[in-house]
Structures are given as structure tokens and as C-alpha cells.
Amino acid sequence: TPLLPRTAFAHLRRQAAALDALRPRLNACCHHHSPLPCARRAWTDVLDGFCTDEFGVKTRQFHCCRRHGAA
């Protein structure tokens, strides 16, 4: 995120923040007794948070945020 300009590109900053939030959770899953379900849970939690942030701004939301459930 430090390489992105301070003005505009807010959508890219939100995407980068989501990936930054995912990294430590995935690292923790590597030491978990069942890493795949842990990683899936981490991904869905971070993606849910990202989509919540996306719907909180008046720009076009990322396409995956309009899907529901397993989609």
C-alpha cells in the first residue's frame, strides 16, 4: 500500500488492506491441526470484511461482493 498515491486508488487500497489482513491469518493456519478449513475460514472472514467496506463507499463494488453463499 505505501506505493499507491494518497489520492484516488481507494479501491486498490481496500484490496491491499484485505490481502494484508489475510497474510497473518494464513500464517497462523499453517500451525493449525486442520489448515485447509482454517484457511477457508480466514479467507471468507477477510472477504466478508472487504465486501462490507466496499458497500460502505459510493463507488462501484468489486464484482465478487455481489455474490452470496458458496458463489
pLDDT tens by residue, the chain, 71 residues: 567 777 777 888 888 889 999 999 999 999 989 999 999 999 999 988 888 887 777 776 666 676 665 55
- Phi and psi at 8, nearest 5°, equal 60, -170
First to last CA, the chain: 28
Whether the pTM exceeds 0.75: the reply is no
Given a contact cutoff of 8 angstroms between Cβ atoms, the answer to whether 54 and 62 are in contact is yes
Q: How far is CA 41 from CA 4, 32, 60, 71, in A?
A: 29, 12, 26, 15
